[in-house]
Amino acid sequence: MAKDPAVLFYTSDFISGTYTMTDEQVGKYIRLLCLQHQKSRLSEKDMLYICKTYDVDIWCKFDKDDVGYFNVRMDNEGTKRKNYSESRKNNRKPNHMKNICSTYEKHMENENENRDINKDVVKDVVKEKKTKREKFIAPTIQEVHDFAEKEMNGSKDAPDNFFNYYEARGWMMQKTPMKNWKAAYKNWTKNEKQYEAVKGTNQHKSETKSERNERLYRDYGKELNGGKPLPDIFELCKD
């Protein structure tokens, strides 16, 4: 079996455990940990080759058994990693697959197999949702009229104008296909009211002062005279 190229490395624990060490000591210490991961045990020659001399701050991080020097935490993490990988391999053997749920997903046993399986799962879920989305069906002009009558919304010409406008554009809203024509119709009638209000305002922007006074006199004269039109003083003035 090839040597596992990786092991869990807890950065916060490492920083707190080397806080009082110099940068040079930290560099030597991390090299010794990496070498232990590859060899399992370190000889005294290995320790001296990297440390150059006996450094109590570094050497105190390692225990010694009959085989050689080792860091207890690194030794435990390597063992846990190895056991986990073995269990995953055994679970995928034919005799064990019968007891595994159909949703079982492979786990990486080697960092060299750098494939993110979760991304594949997400893509499949998104694809499935798109497939389930209902396909848009364009309405008939009668359906638009029936909906407008039910909602009692919009002008008399709104259903025809709405249908003709989007029918000519393939029921596209700018560059996006329409999803809900009923919601689009409600927005259409809402914008129609706003347009008419602005249009009515713009009609009088070009009026002169005298034309405005004449219009106001005629529009509001009936209200002031009990519904009857006031004499056309502007015509009288012309005479």
Instruction: Please say whether the dihedral angle defined by the alpha carbons of residues 111, 99, 76 and 8, taken in this order, is positive or negative.
Output: positive
What tens digit of pLDDT does each residue of 93-140 get?
766 555 555 544 444 444 444 445 455 555 665 666 665 567 889 999
Whole-number Cα distances in Å, 239 to 42, 89, 155: 121, 109, 43
Which one, of 71, 68, 64, lies nearest residue 14 by Cα? 71
Which one, of 49, 53, 71, 69, lies nearest residue 61 by Cα? 71
Q: What is the pTM of this model?
A: 0.40
Least confident of 11-25, 47-61, 107-121: 107-121
Residue 156 has a pLDDT of 82
Band (pLDDT 50/70/90 cuts) for residue 12 is very high
